[in-house]
Structure 1
Amino acid sequence: MEAEDMDSPPPRRICGNCNRPSPVCLCDSLPAQPISTETQIIILHHPHEAQHKLSTTPILTKCLANSTAIISRRLKPGLSPLLDQSPPAVYLFPPTKSSPSVNVSQLRRPDRDAPLVLIAFDATWKHAREMVRASEGFLSKFATRVCLDVDENASGGSIYDSELILRKEPFGGCVSTMEAVARALRVLEPNGLEIETKLIRVLRDMVALQAGYLKPVKPRPKLLKKGKEKEKEKEEEQSDPIQT
């Protein structure tokens, strides 16, 4: 046992500020001071996602002063003192036939002076749908469902897909939680473009750091039918120079 303990690798050092392993520490990328927003941001963090090392929620809450993460499978009374007050709020999720969404850029706010609460769900798409369905009974009393202006037919709308295949999105137009909040704040905040730019810069740095520790993925060879395979072999024989 003593020999095994001596051979075991030392535990990874974790940064006490960004809570990430030292080799991928993001402290140099984080804002010197958390970004202030008029909007209050609440992220419902699925328990499984909270354990995922590539979740963007911990970094997002480090970047935004008025943000809170709640680890739970649904929103209900007693989880958030702020939401228990039934404030003007919106929650981000794509529309369905039974639950339409208002585009966030077309959102009409009767009282622009009242602080708005932005609610996002951080989970896999399957879990996020379950979380939204479980939370809507509570949210329907004071919150409006909103969506981002995206083209779902586009391929790879997320930094995860376009710059680093860390986590494959289910269809074009999907984005990470951090991207979704950044794009929503671009519309909701007076200096929204500046806030979005800062958040996306941090996310790009996180993605770039993780890329250095990924093993290259070999592309899967395409399987050819027997007929096509013979045709390919014949073409290769015809195109090869005669060896003498």
Structure 2
Amino acid sequence: MEGRETPATDAAGGREDEEPLLRPPAPASGSEEEAEDCGGLWELPVELSARRPECGRCGRPEKVCLCPFLPVHPLKVSTCLYIIQHPAEESRVLRTVPLLAACLPEEKCKVLIGRRFSEDRYPELASVCRNKNTLILYPGAGAANLEEVDLSSPDPYVIIIIDGTWSQAKDIFFKNTLFRIPKQVQLRTSLSSQYVIRTQPTNACLSTLECAAISLAIMEKNDGIKETVLRPLQALCSFQLQHGAQVHHSKEHLLKNGLYDKPMPKNKRKLRRMELLVNNVKI
């Protein structure tokens, strides 16, 4: 056949113009005796694992679907959410963003996945960031309390939320100039995270879904929104705990109570951060 070398001898023992039979690859190293010791395992067919069917609405496997805990119809809200999701969050099994998106109309919850967001590649996001009614939920030094922000504009508001670990969110915020254009806001709430199946840095740290639920309740002046959006998260945690998951206390709680069982970091910067957690100093 043109464009293809024909081997001098046929691996299957046939003529040179015949297609060689496909066989499992031989062991990468070792003698023929070692291959024989495998008892013919190399000849066994490989079984491909099939992914469990997932629910099209909540994103969970169909057998553990959480749709009964979602609102029957998407919530009617005027505020639009932009979730900036770190790529590592997309592969997490117990992520909360799909549950959040399932509670809202598609046009009111937009998820963008990535680390870097330039104006050229994301012109729509750039336009949103320059909108005077856009807020970014990021607890920086100059962030205002969301409950104290003037929300009297008749035009709809937009809230940008970064979805990732604290270090991932910090990296995304500081390495994308677009996200430093909107007004920074933060949540000052006594609510402890109900996302107890995942370890948080401090007791006050909230999941993306919880941040969105509280923010929407404030923006829409409707506490019922918070209860509705939190319901699938509560069901998720309850189900996981009933099937062997353990309650994950925050790193702050573990350190203060002498329960932190991992080796202390040797890096001075990380060690200093842990000391600040114990002493209730905002990082």
With the length of structure 1 as denominator, give the TM-score of the two structures.
0.74
Q: Distance in 2 between matches of 1:186 and 1:82?
A: 24
Shift of 1:158: 0.6
| Corresponding residue of 1:92 | 137
Q: Distance in 1 between matches of 2:246 and 2:92?
A: 21
Gaps of 5+ in 2: 1-42, 248-253, 260-283
Shift of 1:10: 5.6
Shift of 1:213: 3.1
User: Using a 3 Å threshold, how does the CA distance of structure 1 residues 37 and 83 change in structure 2: closer, same or farther?
Assistant: farther
Equivalent of residue 159 in structure 2, options 102, 118, 125: 118
| Corresponding residue of 2:244 | 214
Indicate the percent of aligned positions where both proteins have the same amino acid: 28
| Corresponding residue of 2:58 | 18
Equivalent of residue 134 in structure 1, options 175, 179, 186: 175
DSSP-derived class of the 2:195 partner: helix
Q: Which has the larger radius of gyration?
A: 2
Shift of 1:216: 5.3
DSSP-derived class of the 2:211 partner: helix
Q: Distance in 1 between matches of 2:117 and 2:144?
A: 20
Which moves more between the two structures, 62-71 or 205-214?
205-214
User: Using a 3 Å threshold, how does the CA distance of structure 1 residues 47 and 9 change in structure 2: closer, same or farther?
Assistant: closer
Q: Distance in 2 between matches of 1:71 and 1:24?
A: 25
Shift of 1:214: 2.9
Q: Distance in 1 between matches of 2:184 and 2:195?
A: 25
Shift of 1:91: 0.8
Gaps of 5+ in 1: 223-244
| Corresponding residue of 1:176 | 207
**What is the CA RMSD across the aligned residues, in angstroms?**
2.6
| Corresponding residue of 2:263 | none
Q: Which amino acid aligns with 2:94?
A: L
Q: Which amino acid aligns with 2:110?
A: T
Q: Is the 8 A contact 1:43 1:120 kept in 2?
A: yes
Q: Distance in 2 between matches of 1:134 and 1:201?
A: 34
Q: Which amino acid aligns with 1:181?
A: A
Q: Which amino acid aligns with 2:169?
A: A
DSSP-derived class of the 2:183 partner: strand
Q: Is the 8 A contact 1:18 1:26 kept in 2?
A: yes
Q: Which amino acid aligns with 2:75?
A: I
The higher-RCO structure (CA 8 Å, 6+ apart) is: 1
Shift of 1:80: 5.8
Q: Is the 8 A contact 1:90 1:146 kept in 2?
A: yes
Q: Which amino acid aligns with 2:209?
A: M
How big is each residue's C-alpha offset from its partner over 1:164-215, in whole Å with a ceiling of 9 and x where there is no partner?
xx2111012101000011111111103x211111001121112112223335
Shift of 1:121: 0.7
| Corresponding residue of 2:145 | 103
Q: Distance in 1 between matches of 2:207 and 2:126?
A: 24
| Corresponding residue of 2:226 | 196
| Corresponding residue of 2:186 | 147
Aligned length: 203
Whether 1:69 and 2:111 are equivalent positions in the alignment is yes
Shift of 1:69: 0.6
Misfit runs of 4+, over 6 Å:
none
Equivalent of residue 122 in structure 2, options 61, 79, 87: 79
DSSP-derived class of the 1:130 partner: helix
Shift of 1:126: 0.8
Shift of 1:13: 2.8
User: Using a 3 Å threshold, how does the CA distance of structure 1 residues 79 and 170 change in structure 2: closer, same or farther?
Assistant: same
| Corresponding residue of 1:157 | 192
Q: Is the 8 A contact 1:44 1:75 kept in 2?
A: no
